[in-house]
Amino acid sequence: MTGTRPDWVHPAFRLVEGEEVFGWAEIAALPVPAGGVVHADRPSLVLAALAAAEAEGRGVLLARGTADPDGWRPGQGFTVTLESSGTTGTPKRLCHDFARLRGRLRGVADEGARWLLTYDPGAFAGLQVMLTAVAAGALLVTVPGPGAGTIAALAQAARRHAVTHVSGTPSFWRAFLMALGDTELPLAAVTLGGEAADQPLLDRLAERFPDARLRHIYASTEAGALFAVADSRAGFPADWLDEAPDGLDLRIAGGVLEVRSPRAAPGAVDPDGWLSTGDLVERQGDRVLFAGRLDGLVNVGGVKVSPEAVERRLLAVDGVADAAVLAVASPITGHLLTATIVPVPGAEEAALRAALRAATADLPPAARPRALTFADHIPLSAAGKKSRKGPR
């Protein structure tokens, strides 16, 4: 640790982490683990590790405890490797050039701003919020704990520090509105990202925080942050298919949104520069609206989960004759996985429930099926398939 302040850190930046308050001097003095692997559970440590990696001209891995970091090597030059919160199979690691990671952040000083961190500090979105607050010389309010802390703790911290800038998933916002109750917050900026923002939620936010700038961000893993929509309406203007902002090109092919972006990771695009986002869209009048994922993944509280993969696990449990995992719409978390189980004759329900729970216990909570129902058969769609999405 050299002790000098990196040029991406504004001198006025301060960090609240639970009961502790850090200036840059305190952050820079934190001991950083050797080898470039840092467990990304504390924002202070993540920032210290970034500065140390930059000073030493090597990579840093922000580990989230989902994979064994032993095989990882920091390499030459300052890069930041993030782990996806993968719900199926091995979590993906994506190595980012630090300059590109900061590419879309506007380095505008805003020392009066008080940001609330609602994302995991090791996640792409969490890092974006942290780096924005760091560059602005703002106060960054964070709650230690798994993820970014519980909704109750975040609401309490938001009240206590009178936060002005909050960025979170639609599922975060639905829960946050409930936890806040009637509390007044001096919000200047309300940002949504990570899953499609629905019109009822945008309407509630506009009504609840009439003075705040309301924006929803669209990003994809391969293409990075793509665009922000600021007109308080769900989806994006259909005009953008002809002329998109920020140097982007957008088109719909086979119902799927494709993008051509100057910020896309090389390698992920076709020879003409187009990249499929995997997001299904529908054009409705002057608007293009999001309509789920091509790969069948559903968003549960900001986490992409695979009903099929969960179903395969349940089908492998002793005593299960058939199982269907269904994504039902939820006013709280966007979607929720539920399961219908057909037990083999003579199976004992309590023991089977315990076995089913054990079969999904290692998945992130959002990917575990809730509300397990026992039935004597699984209803099939007209095409003879298990229907994957609930009514609505």
Partner 1 sequence: MIDSIFALIAEELGRIAADKGEVLPPLTADSRFLDGDLPIDSLDLATLLVVLEQRTGQDPFREGFRQFTTVGELAALYTVPA
Applying CB under 8 A, the residues found at the interface with partner 1 are 150-153, 155-156, 171, 174-175, 177-179, 181, 200-201, 204, 300-301, 328, 330-333, 336, 338, 357, 365-366, 370-371, 373, 392
Q: Taking the complex as a whole, how short is the minimal distance between the CB of residue 178 and partner 1, in angstroms? A: 5
**Smaller CB separation from partner 1, 151 or 163:** 151
Q: Which is nearer to partner 1, 74 or 343 (CB)?
A: 343
d(Cα 141, Cα 162) in Å, to the nearest integer? Answer: 10
Measured from the CB atom, the residue of 203 and 286 that comes closer to partner 1 is: 203
List the strands of the sheet with 14-17, edge to edge.
Answer: 20-22, 14-17, 139-142, 114-117, 165-168, 189-192, 213-220, 224-229
Under a CB-based contact definition with an 8 Å cutoff, are residues 138 and 111 in contact? yes
Which residue, 29 or 152, has its beta carbon nearer to partner 1? 152
Least Å distance, CB 133 to partner 1, is 24
What's the Cα-to-Cα distance from 3 to each of 52, 55, 134, 181, 332, rounded to whole Å? 9, 9, 16, 43, 44
- Taking the complex as a whole, how short is the minimal distance between the CB of residue 43 and partner 1, in angstroms? 21
Question: Cβ 259 to partner 1, closest distance in Å?
Answer: 30
User: What's the chain look like in SS3?
Assistant: CCCCCCCCCCCCCEEEECCEEECHHHHHCCCCCCCCEEECCCHHHHHHHHHHHHHHCECEEEECCCCCHHHCCCCECCEEEEECCCCCCCCCEEEEEHHHHCCCCCCCCCCCCEEEECCCCCCHHHHHHHHHHHHHCCEEEECCCCCCCCHHHHHHHHHHCCCCEEEECHHHHHHHHHHHCCCCCCCCEEEECCCCCCHHHHHHHHHHCCCCEEEEEEEECCCEEEEEECCCCCCEEHHHHCCCCCCCEEEEECCEEEEECCCCCCCCCCCCCCEEEEEEEEEECCEEEEEEECCCCEEECCEEECHHHHHHHHHCCCCEEEEEEEEEEECCCEEEEEEEEEECCCCCHHHHHHHHHHHCCCCCHHHCCEEEEECCCCCECCCCCECCECCC
To partner 1, the closest distance from the beta carbon of 387 in angstroms equals: 16
**Nearest distance, CB of residue 301 and partner 1, angstroms:** 6
Which of 192, 223 has the CB closer to partner 1? 192
111/203 with CB nearer partner 1: 203
Comparison of 44 and 338: residue with beta carbon closer to partner 1: 338
Q: How far is the CB of 76 from partner 1 (least distance, A)?
A: 42
Minimum separation from the CB atom of position 371 to partner 1 (A): 5
Complex with partner 1: residue 5 or 208, whichever CB lies closer: 208
When the beta carbons of 153 and 342 are compared against partner 1, the nearer one is 153
CB of 298 to partner 1, least distance (A): 13
Give whichever of 81 and 171 is closer to partner 1, judged by the CB atom: 171
In the complex, least distance from residue 179 CB atom to partner 1, rounded to whole angstroms: 4
